[in-house]
Amino acid sequence: MNQVFYQNSLLKFIRSKKGKALDLASGNETFVKLLLKNNWYVDSVDLKKNNNFNKKNYTFNCIDLEKIKLSKIRKKLALRKYELVILFRFLHRPLLRMIPLLMKKNGLFFCETYMIQNGKGKLNTKKNMLREKELFNLKNCNLNLLKFYQGKDSQKRNIIQTAIFKRV
């Protein structure tokens, strides 16, 4: 299973709460499956569908996250608001401003992706990686930072940055 640094916090939240979750750039939907198993309603967003499953409480939304505007994404997602938003291993900075507006009060936002340190990082394209302490310095009056870490990922392969935010 794909791992994230704050996996235990994520599991604890998923197991203790129920509601609607949004997985942005959901890839092979590892986290979608985990959420469905724990009786969440899940909106999965990606450029392409990587699974064939057709489950109740689940909607796959084919959306180009680099092109869509807030009003359009809200409409596509039927104006739903989420108790949980996850964004793992994908970065498009305008999303960081949109996400709080898709969340319910007290909802959590888990974000984790690669970062660039001393000019180096996992990805070839620098703009797709976070800058030093970028999530720590994220200024958004709708989000409170609960946890932050930058350094090696849990498998000690890549330099990542990861954070948990609460929607206020």
The interface region with ligand SAM, picked from 11-19, 74-82, 86-94, 118-126 by CB under 6 A, is: 86-94
Q: Which is nearer to ligand SAM, 92 or 139 (CB)?
A: 92
Among 7, 9, 17, 30, binds ligand SAM (CB under 6 A): 30
Those residues with Cβ within 8 angstroms of residue 46's Cβ, 6 or more apart along the chain or in another chain: 25, 26, 27, 60, 62, 63
Count CB neighbours of 130 within 10 A.
26
Beta strands 143-152; 58-62: pairing state = unpaired
Instruction: For residues 62 and 46, give the distance between their C-alpha atoms in angstroms, rounded to a whole number.
Output: 5
How many residues at the interface with ligand SAM, by CB under 6 A? 14
- Can residue 27 be called a binding residue for ligand SAM (CB under 6 A)? yes
Report residue 14 as tokens. Answer: 């998923």
β partners of residue 130: 115
Half-sphere exposure of 29 (CA within 13 A, CB side): 24
- Can residue 48 be called a binding residue for ligand SAM (CB under 6 A)? yes
The interface region with ligand SAM, picked from 62-70, 74-82, 133-141, 159-167 by CB under 6 A, is: 62-70
- Can residue 64 be called a binding residue for ligand SAM (CB under 6 A)? yes
- Can residue 25 be called a binding residue for ligand SAM (CB under 6 A)? yes
The residues that touch ligand SAM, with contacts defined as CB under 6 A, are: 2, 25-27, 30, 46-48, 64-66, 88-90
